[in-house]
């Protein structure tokens, strides 16, 4: 296992591998690794000789100081979690100064409307932070392909746009959401939930599942009403938003159109922990 902390070293590592005609996949993460991250790594290892996993809790994408402070940081545990992959994995775990230089600030992006809905509305500045850090990391790591989870579906679309805007020479690939057996989407934030909250949080999956079942026969506005009602009756979870959107541009669904694909999205709080999930509905 290679643990690399500087951009000079990561550039050297990657150029040596590329000189041997090896290809490099990249899985950017904020650490506290779980099976969801592992599913991205496994996906990447089928296509590339080496995978670089970055572990960096990016300050500019947090709009809530307490969320940033309490975000789990478990580098030693993460390194042992990746131990089984042996030398096909390198961890890139830089400091903020290493990633950004002296000024840890976001660039302002125009992602053509994808950034103004859902997460963009509720987490101001979030996607500028995501775009800025990934622009730095992509340039430092210089991978052939990077893998992102559909768990953060809006982020996946943002990253595809970012690569276009910055004209970066890499492919962006989305990977399916990895869930626990009870349906709960795996997330680093789950580590902050009590056993009881972990159980209660499966409600989010159950609602998405039902929306998926009802999508054919009910209008979007009926479904929105039903979901809001269900959350209002649930004392354990507070709904922040529910949306059904076109998968291409994330525009909220008003009238279903043939040949268009839609997904349902939920953000909800279990206590102070914010959880997101989504599901394809047709």
Residue 13: CB minimum distance to ligand AMP, A: 21
Burial label for 221, CB within 10 Å (0-12, 13-18, 19+), is exposed
- Per the annotation, the verdict on 37 as an active-site residue is yes
Closest CA to 14 of 135, 137, 143: 143
Site for ligand AMP in 45-64 (CB under 6 A): none
Q: Which of 38, 40, 227, 281 binds ligand AMP (CB under 6 A)?
A: 40
- What does the block give as tokens for 241? 């938003």
| 57 CB-side CA count, 13 A | 17
Residue 263 touches ligand AMP, criterion: CB under 6 A? no
Cβ nearer to ligand AMP, comparing 62 with 262: 62
How does DSSP classify residue 178? P
- For ligand AMP, what does the binding mask look like between residues 3 and 32, x meaning CB under 6 A? --------------------------xx--
Separation between Cα atoms, residue 191 and residue 34, nearest integer Å: 10
Would you tell me the crossing angle of helices 153-165 and 126-141 to the nearest 10 degrees? 60
Alpha carbon separation from 131 to 27, 124, 150 (Å, rounded) = 15, 13, 17
Residue 148 touches ligand AMP, criterion: CB under 6 A? yes
Closest CA to 185 of 210, 213, 208, 214: 208
Residue 163 touches ligand AMP, criterion: CB under 6 A? no
Residue 126 touches ligand AMP, criterion: CB under 6 A? no
The β-bridge relationship of strands 237-246 and 89-92 is: unpaired
- What does the block give as tokens for 77? 């545990």
How does DSSP classify residue 108? P
Residue 129 touches ligand AMP, criterion: CB under 6 A? no
Q: Which of 186, 207, 276, 281 binds ligand AMP (CB under 6 A)?
A: 186
How does DSSP classify residue 215? T
The CA dihedral of 58, 62, 67, 70, to the nearest 10 degrees, is 10
Cβ nearer to ligand AMP, comparing 158 with 223: 158
Count of residues touching ligand AMP (by CB under 6 A): 17
Which of 37, 48, 126, 178 is an active site residue?
37
Cβ nearer to ligand AMP, comparing 157 with 175: 175
Q: Which of 24, 25, 37, 266 binds ligand AMP (CB under 6 A)?
A: 37
Separation between Cα atoms, residue 262 and residue 255, nearest integer Å: 11
Q: Which of 60, 140, 187, 278 binds ligand AMP (CB under 6 A)?
A: 187
Q: Which of 123, 151, 161, 224 binds ligand AMP (CB under 6 A)?
A: 151
How does DSSP classify residue 282? -
Closest CA to 274 of 117, 156, 118, 75: 118
Q: Which of 39, 54, 106, 142 binds ligand AMP (CB under 6 A)?
A: 39
Cβ nearer to ligand AMP, comparing 175 with 244: 175
Cβ nearer to ligand AMP, comparing 144 with 220: 144
Give the active site residues.
Answer: 37
Q: Which residues bind ligand AMP (CB under 6 A)?
A: 29-30, 36-37, 39-40, 148-149, 151-152, 175, 177-178, 185-188
């Amino acid at each position: 296992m290679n643990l690399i902390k500087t951009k000079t070293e990561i550039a050297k590592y990657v150029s040596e591998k590329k000189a041997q005609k090896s290809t490099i996949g990249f899985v950017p993460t904020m650490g506290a690794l779980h099976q969801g991250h592992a599913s991205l790594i496994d996906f990447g290892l089928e296509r590339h000789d080496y995978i670089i996993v970055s572990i960096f809790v990016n300050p500019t994408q947090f709009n809530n100081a307490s969320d940033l402070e309490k975000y789990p940081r478990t580098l030693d545990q993460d390194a042992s979690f990746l131990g089984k992959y042996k030398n096909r994995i390198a961890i890139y775990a830089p400091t903020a100064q290493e990633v950004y230089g002296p000024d840890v600030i976001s660039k302002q992006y125009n992602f053509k409307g994808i950034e103004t809905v859902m997460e963009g509305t509720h987490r101001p500045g979030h996607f500028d932070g995501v775009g800025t850090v990934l622009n730095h990391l992509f340039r430092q790591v210089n991978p052939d392909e990077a893998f992102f989870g559909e768990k953060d579906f809006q982020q996946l679309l943002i990253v595809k746009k970012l690569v276009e805007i910055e004209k970066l020479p890499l492919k962006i690939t989305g990977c399916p959401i990895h869930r626990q057996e009870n349906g709960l989407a795996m997330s680093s934030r789950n580590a902050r939930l009590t056993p009881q909250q972990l159980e209660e949080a499966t409600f989010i999956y159950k609602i998405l599942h039902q929306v998926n079942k009802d999508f054919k026969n009910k209008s979007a506005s009926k479904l929105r009403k039903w979901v809001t009602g269900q959350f209002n009756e649930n004392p354990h979870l507070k709904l922040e938003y529910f949306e059904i959107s076109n998968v291409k541009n994330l525009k909220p669904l008003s009238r279903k159109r043939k040949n268009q694909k839609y997904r349902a999205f939920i953000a909800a709080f279990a206590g102070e922990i914010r959880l997101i999930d989504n599901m394809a509905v047709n």
